Amino acid sequence: MRQTTYHARWPQEVGIRRPPRIAWDLEDELQAAQAMLLEDAHLSNWNSKIVGHVADVRTGLAYTFFQKYTIPLWAYRQGPELFLYYVAHELSHLVCQEHGHGKRFYEVFFKLCPAWAYHHESGYKPRNYVRYGKEFGALK
Give the long-range contacts of residues 136-140, CB within 8 A, separation 24 or more. 136/106, 136/107, 136/110, 137/110, 138/110
How large is the C-alpha radius of gyration of the chain?
15
CATH of domain 5-135: 3.30.2010.10
Domain ranges (residues) in the chain: 5-135
Mean pLDDT of 4-30: 68
Is residue 91 a contact partner of residue 114, using CB atoms and an 8 Å limit? no
Query: Can you state the percent helix, strand and coil of the chain, rounding each to 5?
Result: 55, 10, 30
Closest CA to 51 of 108, 104, 10: 10
Closest CA to 76 of 118, 36, 29, 40: 29
pLDDT one-digit tens code per residue, 73-107: 999 999 999 999 999 999 999 999 877 888 999 99
Q: How confident is the model at residue 15 (pLDDT cuts 50, 70, 90)?
A: low
Helix (H, G, I), strand (E, B) or coil at 57: coil
Query: pTM, whole model, 2 decimals?
Result: 0.83
